[in-house]
Amino acid sequence: VAKLVAILQGSSEDLDEAWGVGQAFANSPVAAVHVLAYPIGGTFHVPHGLSNALVLPHVLRFNAPDAHGHNSEIAVNAFPQMAQIEGSQARCAAFIDALADLSAHLGMQTWLRDVD
């Protein structure tokens, strides 16, 4: 009985955490990345993090004309040296390039065709 109670308590904590993540997603612009990454993972058995990393730069580039201000702010938080880049469009472009470079630097595949 004690083991079952411990399992149920752990499950309850997991549900609370999942609910919190869901709330965070609802308040952040991640929908397009996840919508595209989900079928890649499900169809081709690509790990969730990798499928998100594969599509992230492309989604950010697509959304850049309307989201460069928001992404420019994120860029400075993620890469403080980007604060020196003038203009939100230029900073957004540098941010997208830096994310793509980071994936390559970490040894991750950067194109779907490269995934086994």
The full set of domain ranges for the chain reads 2-114
Which has the minimum average pLDDT: 34-38, 62-66, 90-94? 34-38
pLDDT of the residue at 10? 65
30: nearest Cα among 46, 52, 14: 52
pLDDT of the residue at 32? 87
Using pLDDT thresholds of 50, 70 and 90, give the confidence band for residue 1. Answer: low
Number of C-beta neighbours around residue 63 at 10 A: 17
| Burial category of 3 from C-beta neighbours within 10 Å (exposed 0-12, middle 13-18, buried 19 and up) | exposed
- The mean per-residue pLDDT over the stretch 2-23 comes to 67
Average pLDDT in the chain: 86
- Report the percentage of the chain scoring pLDDT > 70: 78
Which has the minimum average pLDDT: 7-16, 47-56, 87-96? 7-16
pLDDT digits (tens, 9 = 90+) for 40-84: 999 999 999 999 999 999 999 999 999 999 999 999 999 999 999
pLDDT of the residue at 51? 94
